[in-house]
Chains A and B, each alone.
Chain A
Amino acid sequence: MAQAANADFKTRLQTWLPKLVLSPSLAMVLIFVYGFIAFSVYLSFTDSRLLPSFGWVGWENYSKLWRLSHWETSITNMGIFALLYIGICTVLGLSLAIFLDQKIRAEGFIRTVYLYPMALSFIVTGTAWKWFLDPGIGLENVMQSWGWTSFEFDWIKNRDFAIYTVVLAAVWQTSGFVMAMFLAGLRGIDNEILKAAQMDGASNWNLYRRIIIPQLRPAFLSAFVILSHLAIKTFDLVIALTGGGPGRATELPATFMYSYTFSRNQMGIGAASATIMLMTIAAIMIPYLYAELREKK
């Protein structure tokens, strides 16, 4: 009798054990991710300043936010940055992948060189580019010392052009990764179809345009999703490269949120900006993850 009960307990334990093992991770995610999201979204509707406060103010923080020129700058910069960053990374990554796919000697070595920036911290990347682009000691100075005395390149100090230096450094960091994604896609394409099309006299241009590139759709989608979420989250690079300046010329939503919440003690507005960032990413990521996970079943 006791033995039976013991055995019964054991089988029951075995059926519950998997869920028990999963539960600490699940609890962490539910509290630290979804609970915290709920808390931050709630704060965005309160009069929180230095510390969280629970006085309900409705949409006031949001309407204040959209009237701030500082936020407007961040959003405009985000638009310019995201468009150029995603566009250039995609075109460059695809082109390099197609080039590398031509039975290139030392392909492995070249791939390693293209991809190593992904292993670096944005703070390191930012530091390197900051001084390389600095007109005082970097490119401009070097060119002038080489005899091109009229050479000027002061984008990083120029309000109208500084954002493009952020694009340059970010493209440098991630384009190799995009190349690797497209290369993996190219390697998955069936050569038989290409051979058949060649027999029919298709030009190489048409092979790429009509057969190969359309088959890369999943790689395009992945690249777009990954790049857009990286773009929205860009923070460290701006801090290290320009510190958001000159003036506010390179502020992005992530740096805006940080300074409003932690330096300017406008926690309600900071939370509102974080909520907008989250919603933007969710609009891109949720359909993507949903499709990816559903396919698998």
Chain B
Amino acid sequence: MMAHATQDTAIRTGRAVRMLIYLVLVLFALFYMLPLYVMLVNSVKPLDEITGGGMMNLPQVWTLAPWAKAWSSAQIGVEPTGLSPYFWNSIKMVVPAVAISTILGALNGYVLTKWRFRGDTILFGLMLFACFIPFQIVLIPMARMLGLMGLAGTTWGLVLVHVVYGIGFTTLYFRNYYAVFPTELVRAAQIDGAGFFQIFWRILLPSSGPIAVVSIIWQFTNIWNDFLFGASFAGADSQPMTVALNNLVQASHGVKEYNVHFAGAILAALPTLLVYIVAGRYFVRGLMAGSVKG
């Protein structure tokens, strides 16, 4: 592959080589689409078509029954509730966690760029490193702490956890964004007598739209997709979607209903996938900012 790649440049490429490049690109596009195709196509066919060796085929009989079952009547743990209650658990956890961590990130970014003080970079470094720790190192004390705070097994406990381990990234986004915002405007407003919050509210916030979208999308995707914290700290009535999906798929009793599993997997993927399709540009910006600190 490298050999083909390096025979070309952006400037001059022969016809044959270009065809080859297109071929490789299309093959990999198929590779990336494969699991999505498998999930979609098998979520709308009866179980016997899957077990009969037809996983890659289009359904002979189309049915939405697996979706209905995954949503409202599949056995999750001991209850035949389907995934719907867990879907709402995830929503109840994600919305406040995203809102709080984004607001805190915006304020932190504002302070760290426009009200700098000695040692602010070190403090920021401490916040940033927190994003990369293996969360296994905090699981034991966090379980104790949530217990002490009376939040064990609750949605609010999970909100707290996600806010704590999310503010490093949200602060990073806003800090990098505000760093290139003209400080003269802030100083001028200060001289005119504007206070700390006035400046934030009237001068920085109105132009923070794009980075707020980046932060919200990043946090939404990360928190919705989290499994470790959900599996460790959620109670029976606060389990998020990912944990419920895993329980559905790993259940060892009865017939394995692959079509229901695939429908459930799509249900769990749908919110983040929709966000990606609608606003993928911002998601990629968040990803890149998280890797190339700039």
> A residues engaging B (CB < 8 A)?
14, 17-19, 21-22, 24-26, 28-30, 32-37, 39-41, 43, 52, 91, 95-96, 98-104, 110, 112-125, 127-132, 136-138, 141-142, 144-145, 172, 176-177, 180-181, 184, 191, 194-195, 198, 204-205, 207-209, 218-219, 222-223, 225-226, 229, 232-233, 235-236, 239-240, 243, 253-254, 257-258, 261-262, 267, 270-271, 273-275, 277-278, 281-282, 285-286, 289-290, 292-293, 296-297
CB distance from B241 to the nearest CB of A (A): 8
> B residues engaging A (CB < 8 A)?
1-2, 5-13, 18, 21-22, 24-25, 28-29, 31-36, 38-39, 42, 50-56, 104, 107-108, 110-112, 115, 117, 121, 123-130, 132-142, 144-145, 163-165, 167-168, 171, 179, 195-197, 221, 224-225, 227-228, 231-232, 242, 245-246, 249-250, 258, 261-262, 264-266, 268-269, 272-273, 275-277, 280, 283-284, 287-288, 290-294
B137 adjacent to A113 (CB under 8 Å): no
Give the residue name and chain of the A residue nearest to B39 (CB). A128
7 tightest A-B contacts by CB? A145-B53, A18-B115, A121-B225, A128-B35, A119-B276, A236-B227, A292-B293
Q: B31 contacts which chain A residues (CB < 8 A)?
A: 172
CB distance from A165 to the nearest CB of B (A): 13
- Contacts A21-B107, A127-B265, A254-B136 known; list 18 others, CB within 8 Å: A18-B111, A25-B104, A29-B167, A32-B165, A33-B129, A52-B140, A52-B144, A95-B2, A121-B225, A123-B268, A204-B9, A225-B291, A277-B134, A278-B137, A286-B129, A290-B125, A296-B121, A296-B294
Residue of A19, A129, A136, A275 near B137 (CB, 8 A) is A275
Give the residue name and chain of the B residue nearest to A235 (CB). B228
Q: A34 contacts which chain B residues (CB < 8 A)?
A: 126
A181 adjacent to B288 (CB under 8 Å): yes
Q: A293 contacts which chain B residues (CB < 8 A)?
A: 121, 124-125, 128, 293
A261 adjacent to B139 (CB under 8 Å): yes
Give the residue name and chain of the B residue nearest to A277 (CB). B134
CB distance from B278 to the nearest CB of A (A): 11
